[in-house]
């Protein structure tokens, strides 16, 4: 029985062993590159080209979700634990959708019942 536990521990360790220093630096530079891209969009591209607020917000949200994926998957090690990764994503999306619905509901209530 102790041998089974030992082999399970080794398999679990091998999964996390793929997070080497090189991989950590690689993910760091991906995150740095995405952040630099966000600053370039905000400080150079948007003012010169005149992108709409809706389009830039969509781009920022997409890039932020990409950064969140890298952080959750590699630094929180959830990429190596499929069930925990899927569960955390699904629960987060449920709460985000719920909060958006609440915001839209409460926001419209505030606009309708404001005294003039």
pLDDT at position 63 = 92
pLDDT at position 26 = 92
pLDDT at position 5 = 46
Mean pLDDT computed over every residue of the chain: 78
Contact criterion met (CB below 8 Å) for 62 and 68: no
Domain boundaries along the sequence of the chain? 18-80, 81-116
Give helix 53-70 / helix 21-40 axis angle, nearest 10°. 170
What are the tens digits of pLDDT across the range 65-79? 899 888 888 877 767
């Amino acid at each position: 029985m102790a041998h089974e536990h030992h082999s399970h521990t080794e398999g679990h360790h091998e999964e996390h062993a793929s997070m080497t220093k090189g991989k950590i630096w690689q993910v760091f530079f991906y995150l740095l590159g995405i952040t630099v891209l966000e600053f370039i969009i905000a400080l150079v591209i948007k003012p010169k080209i005149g992108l709409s607020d809706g389009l830039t917000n969509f781009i920022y949200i997409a890039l932020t979700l990409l950064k969140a994926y890298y952080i959750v998957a590699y630094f929180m090690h959830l990429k190596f634990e499929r069930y925990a990764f899927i569960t955390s994503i699904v629960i987060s999306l449920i709460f985000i959708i719920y909060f958006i619905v609440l915001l839209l509901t409460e926001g419209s209530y505030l606009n309708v019942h404001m005294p003039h």
